[in-house]
Amino acid sequence: MQDHSRESKIDLSRESAARIFGTGDSNLRYICRKLGVKAVYRDGCLSLSGSGPSVEMAKAVISRLEYEITVSGSLSDHSIDAALSFPEKHDVTLEFSVPGPAGRIIPKTAGQEEYLRAIKNSELVFCIGPAGTGKTFLAVASAVAALTDGEVDRIVISRPAVEAGERLGFLPGDLQQKIDPYLKPVYDALDDTLSPARVRRSLDNRIIEVAPLAYMRGRTLNNAFVILDEAQNTTITQLKMFLTRLGYSSRAVITGDITQIDLKPPSSSGLVVIRKILSGIEGIAFTHLDQKDVVRHPLVQSIISAFERDENREAHR
């Protein structure tokens, strides 16, 4: 039987090796286990052995992690799995920096590359995908970068408060206290990309505005980067209202997950039918993310896949 195993070497500094390999070489062992390769590091050189395709894959993963350390200074919790899922050299023109803790924004998957390319090249972008794919975070990061670079004067972020039936007046507290629970994921993304102190100042100065969808009616938003999050919970009438708020020199990103529709019936979601209505219009882009683009705990990918299989079984009964 022919032996197709091969060996390849990578020059890797001790500092980079320590960061990539992790405590007790846990990251390196994980990569080797996932790809079925063996690795030995000695005198600034990493030797990889195994099947040809697996060794090439391992080299690409190590190279991507080394690059991420170069531009970001460290690896995040999900960097290893992201590199294993998307080891190819990505489009560096899609990278950008934000002033908050997130620092350098790098697409982690092929789907995220497509999403960021759409935001870069289109005035209106729809992004549909499951939880954990970075829909909200990348939209907010792009908005913060546009604000920092002077491309827009303000950021406006909205979400439908479906859980409250948009009847916010019945909730205790002032407006901010009423809507904060529904907008927490947005604030988390802002804190990561701009820093909590700058977010507070920007909110006070109305450079950044975060408000429920019900408060968008009747407005015209000029020179703004506008984000509608959780758009699967908007009706087509609400979605039309939001889209027609766009004024001069404004851009918009609409995100949502059509597998998590809270409207009754789910078929009333505007996000489900909007592509048929707006398809083919210049300046409008649609992107779709799936479980391969999940950048949370690896189990999230498995959970999403399991639900999709169950839904497919139900649909064919």
Task: Give the pLDDT band of residue 11 (cuts 50, 70, 90).
Answer: very high
Considering the domain architecture, whether residues 140 and 61 belong to the same structural domain is answered as: no
The reported pLDDT for the residue numbered 166 is 45
Considering the domain architecture, whether residues 199 and 249 belong to the same structural domain is answered as: yes
> Which range, of 123-127, 184-188, 265-269, 298-302, averages the lowest pLDDT?
298-302
Considering the domain architecture, whether residues 77 and 99 belong to the same structural domain is answered as: no
Considering the domain architecture, whether residues 106 and 212 belong to the same structural domain is answered as: yes
> Which range, of 22-31, 71-80, 193-202, 298-307, averages the lowest pLDDT?
298-307
- Pairing relation of β-strands 154-159 and 208-212? parallel
SS (H, E, C) the chain: CCCCEEEEEEECCHHHHHHHHCHHHHHHHHHHHHHCCEEEEECCEEEEEEEHHHHHHHHHHHHHHHHHHHHHCCCCCCHHHHHHHCCCCCCHHHCEECCCCCCEECCCCHHHHHHHHHHHHCCEEEEECCCCCCHHHHHHHHHHHHHHCCCCCEEEEEECCHHHCCCHHHCCCCHHHHHHHHHHHHHHHHHHHHCHHHHHHHHHCCCEEEEEHHHHCCCCECCEEEEECCHHHCEHHHHHHHHCCECCCCEEEEEECCCCCCCCCHHHEHHHHHHHHHCCCCCEEEEECCHHHCCCCHHHHHHHHHHHHHHHHHHCC
Distance, CA of 27 to CA of 82 (rounded, Å): 13
Residue 235, strand partner residues:
269
Q: Work out the average pLDDT over 143-165.
A: 86
Both tokens of 118, joined, read 């759409």
Q: What is the pTM of this model?
A: 0.76
The reported pLDDT for the residue numbered 1 is 43
Considering the domain architecture, whether residues 58 and 137 belong to the same structural domain is answered as: no
Which CATH number is 164's domain given? Answer: 3.40.50.300
Looking at 39, 70, 85, the residue that finishes a domain is: 85
Task: Give the pLDDT band of residue 129 (cuts 50, 70, 90).
Answer: very high
Considering the domain architecture, whether residues 280 and 248 belong to the same structural domain is answered as: yes
Considering the domain architecture, whether residues 300 and 267 belong to the same structural domain is answered as: yes
The reported pLDDT for the residue numbered 185 is 85
The reported pLDDT for the residue numbered 165 is 45
The reported pLDDT for the residue numbered 255 is 97
Which CATH number is 12's domain given? Answer: 3.30.1370.10
Looking at 66, 85, 104, the residue that finishes a domain is: 85
The reported pLDDT for the residue numbered 80 is 85
Q: Work out the average pLDDT over 69-96.
A: 79
Domain limits for position 59 = 5-85
Taking residue 182's Cβ as centre, other Cβ atoms within 10 Å add up to 20
- Matching residue, tokens 């992790």: 22
Q: How many domains does the chain have?
A: 2
Considering the domain architecture, whether residues 266 and 152 belong to the same structural domain is answered as: yes
Query: Higher pLDDT residue, 65 or 305?
Result: 65
pLDDT digits over 202-259, tens only?
Answer: 999 999 998 888 888 889 999 999 999 999 999 999 999 999 999 999 999 999 999 8
The reported pLDDT for the residue numbered 298 is 59
Both tokens of 161, joined, read 């408060």
The reported pLDDT for the residue numbered 169 is 52
Looking at 85, 111, 130, the residue that finishes a domain is: 85
Percent of the chain exceeding pLDDT 70 equals 85
Considering the domain architecture, whether residues 107 and 251 belong to the same structural domain is answered as: yes
Considering the domain architecture, whether residues 75 and 137 belong to the same structural domain is answered as: no
Q: Residue 39 above 60 pLDDT?
A: yes
Q: Residue 164 above 50 pLDDT?
A: no
Task: Give the pLDDT band of residue 102 (cuts 50, 70, 90).
Answer: confident
Considering the domain architecture, whether residues 58 and 161 belong to the same structural domain is answered as: no
Sequence-ordered list of residues with C-beta below 8 angstroms from that of 185, at least 6 positions apart, any chain: 136, 229
Considering the domain architecture, whether residues 20 and 155 belong to the same structural domain is answered as: no
Distance, CA of 39 to CA of 172 (rounded, Å): 59
